[in-house]
Structure 1
Amino acid sequence: MMKKILLALLVLGTTVGTASAQVEIGIKLSPSVAYLRADAPQQYSFKSEKSKLGIGGGLVVDYFFGQNYAFGTGLQLTSKGGTVSYQANIVTQDNEQKISLQYLEIPLTVKLFTNDITTDTKLYFQLGGKIGGLVAARIDGEKFYQSGGEKSSKHFIIPDAALLGGFGAEYQVGQSTKVFAGLSYHHGLANVDRYFEKTLNFNDVSLKNGEVALDLGIKF
């Protein structure tokens, strides 16, 4: 799946480049607060308990198709997860899992830039989505889940998708160098859990990712 996505991104980049669009490439670092949105029947006492601090980052690519309009994409490593609690049956005490997930993601967004609000400074607004795949997972800090000895990554569905919205400011510091800072919200759309339904036989359980990130970067 990821190979097909990367190939499509390469083809898109070649097409846009052929059309002589302006391309800006950079890197970013994104400290974040991630959490899991838990949904399940009341009988399981299933809920999200704690958020998780993480850090991600990667490649930023903006393809401008107008003076103030760009297609924003790239390739980024993102940290997600959180802590959930549940009750396996009515006679046992509550259980808790601290979940840490890492995804390789491709944003597919539109970025809208204002004219200069002060010298060499613009505001931007970003809206769209992102797709990605799970590359690593830990449960309670372990790569292997204690009760069965299975890899923690086996407990989660690999593909993920999310809506993305954000805003920030961009400042030009040289002829082609810009620095930017902003906030972004990432709303997971897909259920990422396969453990609770398949292993514990919980019905209608879903875990969806959520994230609020501070985006700090530079474009060349």
Structure 2
Amino acid sequence: MKKLLLALFALGATIGTASAQVEIGLKISPSITSLRAESPANYGFASDGSKFSFGGGLVVDYFFGENYAFSTGLLLNGKGGSITYKDASNTGSAINAKQDISMQYLELPLSVKLFTNEIAPATRLYFQVGGSLNVPIGTRINSNKFYTDPATGEENKASDYVYFFDADALASLGVEYQLGTNTKVFGGIRYNRGLVDIDRYFEKTRNFNDVTIKNSGVALDLGMKF
């Protein structure tokens, strides 16, 4: 029995390897991003606008079936937006502060792509669901790498305001067209919703309670696989 099970396992692994196919490509992703900010009413944290960002990078689709693929890659994407909040200066006067935060993230998507059969000659729809692990590699507040807190008067690096790790849930819908034997082009709309509170400054340094800031974004994915 053990020999039979081992033989079946080896056969399945061989078939899986033989049918597996890897497609590698590049994509660009213009996007509209924003920050979801929440806090108790006395702090008044709120989103105050979105920003246009741009990104792209390497795409890798590992097919484990004709219509199913594990999709990953290595991407560089911009994120951020504007937030407002209420504070008090050292003199006790009220401050209505605003920050325009821009971040660059190095991202590792971990997702599954589901493809339909051809809906037109050489054309298939795809649905992508999963997540992304992200590390910030650059941060600016109000276009500067340093930011002076209007309440304390102290200057800090903009990167001190952002947590060193982020994770997204992602979902996208798109279409893929076969140009040739090994060449495909694709386009789709993707939504990323941040799962990690990226605030590293207000609760840790200023001792604000229950402040939450998370990323969100909608992107247009345009790419080619070879």
* Inter-partner Cα distance in structure 2 for 1:141 and 1:124: 37
Q: Which residue of 2 aligns with 1:203?
A: 209
- Note the alpha carbon deviations across 1:51-99, whole angstroms, 9 max, x for none: 1110000000000000000000000011111000001038413110000
| Distance in 2 of aligned mates of 1:40 and 1:125 | 35
Residue of structure 2 in register with 1:126 after alignment: 128
* Structure 2 CA distance for aligned equivalents of residues 34 and 50 of structure 1: 9
SS state of the match for residue 115, structure 1? coil
- 8 Å contact from structure 1 (residues 166, 182) kept in 2: yes
Count, aligned residues:
205
Q: Quick check: 1:152 aligned with 2:152?
A: no
In 2, distance between residues paired with 1:36 and 1:182?
Answer: 23
Deviation at 1:194, TM superposition (A): 1.1
Instruction: Give the TM-score, by structure 1 length.
Output: 0.89
Amino acid at match of 2:118: D
Q: Give the equivalent residue in structure 2 for 1:94.
A: 96
Could you say which structure has the larger radius of gyration? Answer: 2
Distance apart, 1:151 and its partner CA: 1.6
> 1:156–1:192: 8 Å Cα contact kept in structure 2?
yes
> What is the match of residue 46 of structure 1?
45
**CA offsets, 1:88-114, max 9 Å, x none?**
038413110000011101110000001
Shift of 1:198: 2.4
SS of 1:94's equivalent in the other structure is: strand
| Cα distance between partner residues in 2 of 1:64 and 1:183 | 21
The alpha-carbon deviation at position 199 of structure 1 amounts to 2.8
Say whether 1:194 aligns with 2:200.
yes
Q: Corresponding residue for 1:9?
A: none
Match of 1:197, SS state, is coil
Distance in 1 between the 2:145 and 2:111 partners?
Answer: 33
Which residue of 1 is the match for residue 180 of structure 2? 174
> Residues of 1 paired with 2:220 and 2:140: CA distance?
24
Write the mapping of 1:58-73 to structure 2, written as runs, cut at 5 A.
Answer: 58-73=57-72
Q: How far apart are the structure 2 equivalents of 1:130 and 1:159?
A: 11
2:96 is aligned with 1:106: no
The residue type equivalent to 2:38 in the other structure is: D
- State the TM-score, normalized to the length of structure 2: 0.87
The residue matched to 2:53 in structure 1 has which SS? strand
1:44 Cα deviation after fit: 0.9
SS of the counterpart of 1:93?
Answer: strand
Show structure 1 runs of 5+ residues with no match: 1-14
1:83 alignment partner AA? S
Residue 196 (structure 1) shift: 1.2
Contact 1:88 1:200 in 2 (8 A): no
Give 2:6's aligned residue.
none
Of 82-91 and 96-105, deviating more is 82-91
The amino acid across from 1:159 in the alignment is F
Is 1:23 the counterpart of 2:22? The answer is: yes
Residue 134 of structure 1 deviates from its aligned partner by: 0.8
Alpha-carbon separation, structure 1, partners of 2:212 and 2:51: 18
- The CA deviation string for residues 18-53 of structure 1, in whole angstroms up to 9 with x for no partner, is 924100000000000000011100111110000111
